[in-house]
Structure 1
Amino acid sequence: MRKNQVDMITLGCSKNLVDSEHLIRQFLANGYKVQHNADVIDGEIVVINTCGFIKDAQEESINMILNIVESKKRGKVGQVYVMGCLTERFMDELKAEIPEVDGYYGKFNWKKLISDLGKAYYNDPMGGNRSITTPSHYTYLKISEGCDRTCSYCAIPISTGKHRSRSIEDIIKEAQTLVDGGVREVQLIAQDLTYYGLDLYKEHKLPELVERLSDINGLDWLRLHYAYPNAFPRDILRVIRERENVCKYMDIALQHISDPMLKAMRRGTTKAETYDLLHLMRAEVPNLHLRTTLIVGHPGETEQDFAELLDFVRDIRFDRLGAFVYSHEEGTYAYKHYEDNIPLEVKQERINELMRVQEGIATELNAQKIGQTLRTIIDRQEGEYYIGRTEFDSPEVDQEVLIKHTDGTPTLQVGEFYPVEITSADIFDLYGRVVNR
């Protein structure tokens, strides 16, 4: 066990990661050494930031807690603390089942951990309120917390509560600090970008926020994650089209397309409205790359509903697509009102078929990029390859550009942009070479 060392373990989404980065900065300001998601966990203090999204994520979090508690029993680590979405939902059960944990904290009261350790909580410590754990050239910027949606399947509002926007001034200040510290790419994140500003300003403020952020000198790429089709602020399309440093990329969670499923899911939109919005997006923003998320196996999903979903994916040809098998989550509308009546094997067959269709589309779309020269940021070097991304790809979740390091390849710097000609492609990645600037 290493004295005065904190091991921070973050599970789940990028919004959790931002919370961890705030806490890491507090530990550093109090004189601790901090490791994040290290291969070897041996700290005097271990903090696990959990995910409670669906059952698989819950099981991953619980297994991590049990593993660290076992390390504590063997004397390899000291105190163990658990925070995040899982504890927000299941605090009492966790305390009863795993009492060896030294302290449990929810999604929002984790700041109390610092005072419980007898340490000071600093405002704006060390010239910034976060310690970036991503590569130094990109990071995530959370603009709001919580969600006012009532989607049938979703437990997120149980953990996060009502939607609460940060002020534009506060977000601009943080973004400027990040850029001053070397960040060149910012991913805007929230449980729901679409509602940004409605609580504070009584109107949609996402377009104004993005415009003002795009004015920050040195911010090369600004990317939008987690929009909803219902009440979508359409003026954001103008901003994406007009501002060169706003990526031609939109992450919009659609979940399904058949009207019976959209109604059962309580999505507040229809098939026709969804098609209209997607067609508008592509008309307003040339070369816009769309990422979406879909759910299969929601209670009541028929073969006809699923066939409509497949036809929708073939028709729209999403550039990026993720999918989940429906999870019957305690506390949700679906848990209270629907029977989880789709067998697991049917759910699995459906998601496999859906992803086979998407893989074929992704292969075709990638092949169309061969011969194009795309501005590419270098994220890292792995073996004989430099690994980069275009503006159409978000870190961690999307495909990458692989540039082989050969005698003729110039030395590339992580965090820098290069013109890369795409020479070949497969389902998940592009391959290219740097061309003269």
Structure 2
Amino acid sequence: MGQKKVDVITLGCSKNLVDSELLIKQFEASGFRVEHDSPNPTGDIVVINTCGFIGDAKEESIDMILRFAEARKQGDIEKLLVMGCLSQRYFEQLGTEIPEVDQFYGKFNWKDLIADLGLVYRADLRNERSLTTPDHYAYLKISEGCDRTCSYCAIPLITGKHKSRTIESLVEETKLLASKGVKELQVIAQELTYYGLDIYKKRMLAPLIQELSKVEGIEWIRLHYAYPAGFPSDVLDVMANNPKVCNYLDIAFQHISDPMLKSMRRNVTKAETLDLIRQFRAKVPGIHLRTTLITGHPNETEADFEALKDFVISQKFDRLGVFPYSHEEDTYAYKMYDDNVPDEVKQDRANIIMELQSNISRELNENKIGSTQKVIIDRKEADFYVGRTQFDSPEVDPEVLISTDKPMQIGQFYEVTINGAEDYDLLADW
């Protein structure tokens, strides 16, 4: 009998990806051959790591489960296992409605999946992962869960309360990653700025980042998913003074209208938001801000939306995404408000914001023409090498398309000259 093959399919965010990488390492330690996100999965066992955040993500997860439930029914695969946020949230319903799945697991009990296959969980590998990203960057998940109570968000219902990992365990994992060639850390959490409050009784993101930056081999550290209320200003001091910490912050503002911020339970006002952005830009000159916004939250008026448009135009965010509001079961908004903004209005408003942002992005990119930028090379594509600056996170942000007759090394840093700009991407020579 040949070596057994497992296909792991990851849906949703980078936090899910980290869980998949931990699981893959355990499978490989037990002698399995593993493929991740194969375009044509052919494994004896298929594991789907699901997302349950908003409507579109849930639909994608359900479609993927049904696709492989049919394959399981036809005998094309031996076992179908489902884990992650969707099955954490809808465990009983899914088990009843899709009996072809051999077993459902939640987000935190995936170790049971190992045991149920007759394998032994290797505790000595607890911080080790088989990276699915290019070798030179990795995601580092510093906590689980969220203590915030935003009206629209189902994440706390799925993941529970905020739970920080210790600084020691994160440094240990970072050293392991660096030993494998990782140069760039994407530090992630549902809510970065809350880090440490549960175990150290104070916000400890800045001290954590300082410790991570001491790990030899790590050259860039980028911060994702901050929250404006109670933002710890010492993080800005670290960013301004530590050359390894990218001048980049992913912070979700969601809205700017005071009625909407109150309705969304964001615990911050318009004035406080604008003051915080001023602080960011004063303390870290050249900082690039990525934010997300929501259109069509219950009771969003035309005046609220006009305020949101003005916010986008005036603040000129470097990176921006928009989600049309999704009315999620059991959230505060679901219980307290009617979903009274039509879907087409939500989407139209999102489209308008993204059109504004496209023009802003091009303008900001054009300002970089003639500058020299340090980039890390991710891949070669057609006639270009594709890299990113410190202001660009993989998968979600713009890229730099580099023309050169000389070979460049994937995963290495280079200084390139920006010679052109598109709506989102930059063009460069080396």
The TM tier, using the shorter chain, reads over 0.9
Shift of 1:239: 0.2
Shift of 1:129: 1.7
Partner of 1:129: 128
Partner of 1:264: 263
Residue deviations 1:217-249, cap 9 Å, x none? 211100000000001011100000000010000
Task: For 1:55 and 1:202, locate their aligned partners in 2 and report how far apart those are by CA, in whole Å.
Answer: 35
Equivalent pair of 1:41/1:77 in contact (CA under 8 Å): no
Equivalent pair of 2:135/2:411 in contact (CA under 8 Å): yes
Shift of 1:382: 1.2
Confirm or deny that 1:422 pairs with 2:421: no
User: 2:401 corresponds to which letter in structure 1?
Assistant: L
- Matches for 1:218-257 after TM superposition, within 5 Å: 218-257=217-256
Residue deviations 1:275-313, cap 9 Å, x none? 000000000001000000000000010000000000011
Partner of 2:66: 66
Equivalent pair of 2:247/2:390 in contact (CA under 8 Å): yes
Equivalent pair of 1:3/1:43 in contact (CA under 8 Å): no
Equivalent pair of 2:128/2:176 in contact (CA under 8 Å): no
Shift of 1:177: 0.9
Partner of 1:431: 427
- Matches for 1:22-37 after TM superposition, within 5 Å: 22-37=22-37
- Matches for 1:373-392 after TM superposition, within 5 Å: 373-392=372-391
Task: For 2:2 and 2:11, locate their aligned partners in 1 and report how far apart those are by CA, in whole Å.
Answer: 23
User: 2:230 corresponds to which letter in structure 1?
Assistant: A
- CA 1:44 to 1:3, structure 2 compared with 1: closer, same or farther past 3 Å? farther
- 3-state SS in 2 of match to 1:124: helix
Task: For 1:268 and 1:66, locate their aligned partners in 2 and report how far apart those are by CA, in whole Å.
Answer: 40
- 3-state SS in 2 of match to 1:199: coil
TM-align CA RMSD: 1.1
- Matches for 1:260-409 after TM superposition, within 5 Å: 260-405=259-404, 409=405
Partner of 1:113: 113
Partner of 2:150: 151
Shift of 1:2: 8.0
Shift of 1:396: 0.2
Equivalent pair of 1:2/1:42 in contact (CA under 8 Å): no
What runs of 5+ residues in structure 2 fail to find an aligned partner?
A: none
Shift of 1:74: 2.6
- CA 1:2 to 1:288, structure 2 compared with 1: closer, same or farther past 3 Å? farther
Equivalent pair of 2:3/2:33 in contact (CA under 8 Å): no
User: 1:424 corresponds to which letter in structure 2?
Assistant: G
User: 1:53 corresponds to which letter in structure 2?
Assistant: F
Task: For 1:425 and 1:264, locate their aligned partners in 2 and report how far apart those are by CA, in whole Å.
Answer: 39
Equivalent pair of 2:384/2:403 in contact (CA under 8 Å): yes
User: 2:328 corresponds to which letter in structure 1?
Assistant: E
- CA 1:257 to 1:2, structure 2 compared with 1: closer, same or farther past 3 Å? farther
User: 2:166 corresponds to which letter in structure 1?
Assistant: S
Task: For 2:93 and 2:190, locate their aligned partners in 1 and report how far apart those are by CA, in whole Å.
Answer: 25
User: 2:386 corresponds to which letter in structure 1?
Assistant: I
Structure 1: 4+ residue segments shifted above 6 A: none
What runs of 5+ residues in structure 1 fail to find an aligned partner?
A: none
- 3-state SS in 2 of match to 1:194: helix
Task: For 2:58 and 2:409, locate their aligned partners in 1 and report how far apart those are by CA, in whole Å.
Answer: 38
How many residue pairs get matched? Answer: 430
